[in-house]
Structure 1
Amino acid sequence: MNENLQENITAEQIDAYGLGEQPTPSSAVKALDRLVGEWTVTGGAEGVIRYEWMTGRFFLLQHVELEQFGQTITGIEVIGQLRPFGQPAGTEVVSRFYDSMGNTLDYVYELEGDTLTIWAGAKGSPAYFTGTFSDDDRVLDGAWVYPGDGGYASTMNRR
């Protein structure tokens, strides 16, 4: 045991900054609360996805079970702001998707009003999803756009 460790440190005194302050989720992350729940997806990829908050509400988890191009896509996505050890949280809401075929895909989320944009890779990428929430947040209707006139329509209906 390291004899130099201070004893009786409480959880409130410990954080990634070493300042004794507890961080709170940003408004950009909290705005994604309207995704929480189970959705039926139709369009170029079809199936069911589910969003839920990880304890603390710093990260939104997406569970994916879709069929696309004749293949089953099963995976999980972790969405939030990067907060490397000892550094402040980043400003962008980013994610990494992990699928059952070993792929990892990075995205940047941007929610402005009722419009959700999910950039593939980095903000401003030529590959992205853009969709609009219905007034009651029960439908997210949009499309994935790929370079070279590719892409497909995608609609999510809350279950």
Structure 2
Amino acid sequence: MGTETVDIETVDIETVDTETVDTWEALDARAVALRSLDRLVGTWTVSGPGGHGGEVRCEWADGGCWLVQHVDLHRGDAHDRGVGYVGYDADDGELRSHFFGARGELLELTYRIEGDLLVVRSGGTGSRARFEGRFSADGTVNDGVWRWPGGGHATTLTRTA
């Protein structure tokens, strides 16, 4: 079965079945949501108080349907490493990440970028554990705060590559 590129602007909508239109709309929503993550592509140095720091490298997987995050962070003596995959969840319209840690942990997060605001929530959109940070005008720095019930800390991400 071959593929065909269709210019959606020239399609006679009267002759297209509902299932096809639903598929195009879902693909369009997915593409728009995923492209919002372009700002994260690159290598970022992470810094914060109390020896919190490390590096996060983000890149598109082949096909562009997943943003892959390579994470290497430390907090004092604790060392967190792993890989995360951020993709579009069509069921709820969210950008959802599954992070697989080197110690066997599995974390689910949601991502949202609106303008210069990056919001990452641990455990879903209703979670009170979240990061909120703002990108600098040139997009090379994101200053923000991780918050969770009973705590939190400032975090700065600086693009190095």
Q: Determine if contact 2:33/2:88 at 8 Å carries over to the other structure.
A: no
Q: What residue in structure 2 maps to residue 71 of structure 1?
A: 78
Look up the SS of the partner of 1:101 in the other structure.
coil
**Cα deviation digits, residues 59-114 of structure 1 (max 9, x gap):** 101101111241111100100113xxxxx564111101111010001011111110
User: Which whole-Å CA distance do the structure 2 matches of 1:113 and 1:60 have between them?
Assistant: 19
User: Which whole-Å CA distance do the structure 2 matches of 1:90 and 1:122 have between them?
Assistant: 11
Q: What residue in structure 2 maps to residue 93 of structure 1?
A: 95
Normalising to structure 1: TM-score of the pair?
Answer: 0.80
Q: Determine if contact 1:30/1:57 at 8 Å carries over to the other structure.
A: no
User: Which whole-Å CA distance do the structure 2 matches of 1:121 and 1:155 have between them?
Assistant: 22
Q: What residue in structure 2 maps to residue 3 of structure 1?
A: none
Deviation at 1:41, TM superposition (A): 0.4
Q: What residue in structure 1 maps to residue 68 of structure 2?
A: 61
Look up the SS of the partner of 2:34 in the other structure.
helix
Q: What residue in structure 2 maps to residue 138 of structure 1?
A: 140
User: Which whole-Å CA distance do the structure 2 matches of 1:69 and 1:98 have between them?
Assistant: 21
User: Which whole-Å CA distance do the structure 2 matches of 1:68 and 1:33 have between them?
Assistant: 27
User: Which whole-Å CA distance do the structure 2 matches of 1:54 and 1:89 have between them?
Assistant: 22
Look up the SS of the partner of 2:139 in the other structure.
coil
Alignment of 1:158 with 2:159, yes or no, is yes
Give unpaired runs (5+ residues) of structure 1.
Answer: 1-8, 83-87
Q: What residue in structure 1 maps to residue 58 of structure 2?
A: 51
User: Which whole-Å CA distance do the structure 1 matches of 2:119 and 2:83 have between them?
Assistant: 19
Deviation at 1:138, TM superposition (A): 0.2
User: Which whole-Å CA distance do the structure 2 matches of 1:127 and 1:80 have between them?
Assistant: 20
What amino acid is aligned across from residue 40 of structure 2 in structure 1? L
* Count of residues in Structure 1 that have an aligned counterpart in Structure 2: 139
Normalising to structure 2: TM-score of the pair?
Answer: 0.79
